[in-house]
Structure 1
Amino acid sequence: MSNSGRLTDPSYELIDEQHECSVLYREHGFPHSLVRWHYHREYELHLITESSGKVFVGDYIGTFYPGHLVLVGPNLPHNWISHAEEGQQFPNRDKVVTFNDELVQSAKQVFPEMESLSNLLERAQFGIEFFGDQLIERAHELMNQMSEASGLTRLSLFLILMELLAKADKYKILSSNNYLLVTGEKNIQRLNLAVNYIVEHYARNVTLEEVAEHVSMKPTYFSKFFRQATGRRFIEFVTSLRISKACELLSNSEKPITDICFEAGFNNISNFNRRFIAAKNMTPSDYRKETFERASERWSHAS
C-alpha cells in the first residue's frame, strides 16, 4: 500500500465558506490533503466513485467500494483510506456535499417541512451508511447535477437529496459514542501516523510497542491515547481491521478459508474462527454463504 495517506494536517478541517452558497459541493481524488483522520462542524455527505479501502467513522471500521454513501454529522471524526499500489492515483474518488446545522435550523423557522429531516440529522451524529442500488444511483445523479448548479437550483437539488435520504429504509448506523474527540495539531499528526501505519501493516504481527515507537510515544501513554481517540483498544482496532479484510475476501473470492485466515493477519484458524464469530455472530463459512445468497437475490431481482 502507498504511504500517500500519511499526512500531517491538523484534525479540524475548516470548510471554505462561500457567502453565496449555503450548500457546498466538492470533488477530490486520492491521494489528497483531505485524506486524513479529521472532523469539522459541517454535515458531510460522502460518495465514493473510485477505489476500495478502509473507512473509519468514529469508532467504526469497515470496507468501502464505489457506491459507498455515508452521511457524517458535525464533529464526528472520519477518514477513507484507499487501497493503492505505490504511485497509484484515483483522480475522481469522492463526491462531497457539506452543509451546516445553522442552515437547517434557520430553515425550520420558515419552512415547517424541514422538520422531516430531523430524524435523519439526529442519526447522522453517529454516521449513516445507505444501501440500495436505486437510492445510490439517484443520489449519484443528484450530486452530479449539484456539481453543475448554483443558487436556488443547487439548493432545490439538495433538498430533494435530503428527502431521499430521510425516507431511506436501508441504512446502518456506524459509530457508537465510545470515543472522545482528540484535538491539537500534534496529537492528530500522531494519530494519523498511527492509523496509517496500522492499516499498512495489520496483516502481519504488528504490535502496540512498534506503533508507539513509530509515532515517538511511550507504549503506556500511546495505549491510553489511542483508545481515547478511536474508542477501541489497540488490539481491538487491529482485530477489527483483520475481520473487515476477511469479510472482503470471503465475499469477493473463492479462496479457502484457511488461506483467508492468514492473509487477513490471524496466526491460526481457531483464533480466527473465534474472533470472527464474536464479531459477526456466525462462522466464516456461514458468512460466505449468506453473502453469496444475497448477491444471487440481487441478480435475480435485477434480471
Structure 2
Amino acid sequence: MPTDPQRQPDYEWVEQPACESIHYIQHGVPSSLIRWHHHREFELHLVRATSGRIFVGDYIGNFRPGNLVLVAPDLPHNWISNLAEDEIVPVRDQVIHFPSTLLHDAQRVFPEIRAFTPLLEQAKRGLEFTHPDTIAQATTLFDAVAQACGPQRLIHFLTLLQLLASCEHCRTLSSAWHQPQTDSKHLDWLNSAADYILQHYQRELPLDEVALFMDMSQTQFSKRFKRASGHKFVDFINMLRINRASELLAYSDNPITAICFDVGYNNIANFNRRFLELKGMTPSEYRKTLPQRAS
C-alpha cells in the first residue's frame, strides 16, 4: 500500500530494555513496521535489500541497498519496496533507535560527546549519507552492533556515530519549512495506556482491565491501541515480558522457571513458545549465547 505523506502518521512505540542504551532491530518484507509513522527516538536506518520509494517528512525519493538515513524524533518516515505482492524478503532493514536524552545526558560526563550535536541537529530534517566508503564501514558496524551486547554494543554504536559525524558526503531530505503532522492528544492517550501496561504487565493483565482504565470498550481500545502503537495488545504484552526475561537471563542467575513467573507467565510451555517466537531460540539457548556465560 503506498504511503500518503499528507496522512496523519502512526505513532510507533519503541520498547527500550532497561539494560540497554540503544534498541536494535532488523526486519524483512512484509512487516507491520513498514508504515507511515514516527516515534520519540532517533532512528538510524540501513537498507540491506530491495529498492523502492523513501518518504521522510515532505521528501519523496528512491532508495536501494545501502540507503543510510538518520531521522530525528517525531519526523515521519517510511520505506516502500517495489516487490511482487507475494514476494518475501527475510532481512530488508537494520535499524538502531536511541532516545534523544542519551547523548545529551552523556555530555555531562563525557564532553567529547558534544561533537555529535551538529549531526543530531541535521537529522531533524532527515539526513542521508551517500559516500560508498561510509556506507561500507557503516554496514560493518551495524552487523557488529547486531552481534554484540553490553558495553561492546555501545562501543560499536558510538564508533558508528563518529563515522557519520565526520562524513562530508550527506544531504538533508525534508524541507526546512515542513511541520510534521503529529497529534499530541493521540500521543497522550497512547502514553497513558502504555504507562498503565508497563506498571502491571508482570502479572496477569487482561484486556478488559486496561480498557476499563482507559474508559473504553474492549473493542474500541483494541482498535485504537493497534492503530496507535502498531502492535496488538497481546503482542505488546508478550514483547514487554520477553524483553524483561532477556534482561533477567543476561544479568541474573535466576532459574528459567523463576524468570517465567517473574515476568508474568504462569505456564513454562507458553513462556518457552513465546520466547522462541520473538527471539528465535529458547530461553536456555539464549542464556548459553551470552558472552559472559560462554565456556
Aligned twin of 1:260: none
Query: Contact 2:107 / 2:114 at 8 angstroms: preserved in 1?
Result: yes
- Moved segments of 4+, more than 6 Å: none
- Residue 56 of structure 2 corresponds to 57
Q: How far does the alpha carbon of each residue in 1:176-195 deviate from its partner, in whole angstroms, 9 at most, with x for none? A: 1433333459x9xxxxxxxx
For residues 73-110 of structure 1, the C-alpha deviation after alignment (integer angstroms, 9 at most, x for no partner) is 01000000000112012110000011011111110010
- Aligned mates of 1:59, 1:177 — CA distance in 2: 10
Instruction: Tell me the distance in 2 between the aligned counterparts of 1:63 and 1:169.
Output: 21
Q: Could you tell me how far apart the structure 2 residues matched to 1:79 and 1:120 are?
A: 21
Q: Deviations over 1:19-51 (max 9, x none)?
A: 000111110011111111100010000000010
Q: Would you say the 8 A contact 1:5–1:31 is kept in 2? A: no
Map of 2:134 onto structure 1:
135
- Secondary structure, counterpart of 1:159 in structure 2: helix
Residue in structure 2 matched with residue 168 of structure 1 by the alignment: 167
- Residues 132, 170 of structure 1: 8 Å contact kept: yes
Q: Distance in 2 between matches of 1:13 and 1:93?
A: 19
1:1-303 pair list within 5 angstroms? 3=1, 11-183=10-182
Aligned 8 A contact 2:56 2:173 in 1 = yes
Gaps of 5+ in 2: 187-295
Backbone CA RMSD of aligned residues: 2.2
Q: How many residues matched?
A: 183
Counterpart of 2:53, as a letter, is K
Q: Percent identity, please.
A: 44
State how far apart, in whole Å, the 2-side matches of 1:124 and 1:182 are: 17
> Hey, what's the Cα distance between the residues in 2 that align with 1:125 and 1:10?
16
CA distance in structure 1 between the partners assigned to 2:3 and 2:57 by the alignment: 18
The TM-score, its normalising length taken from structure 2, stands at 0.59
Asked whether the 8 Å contact 1:107–1:114 carries over to 2, the reply is: yes
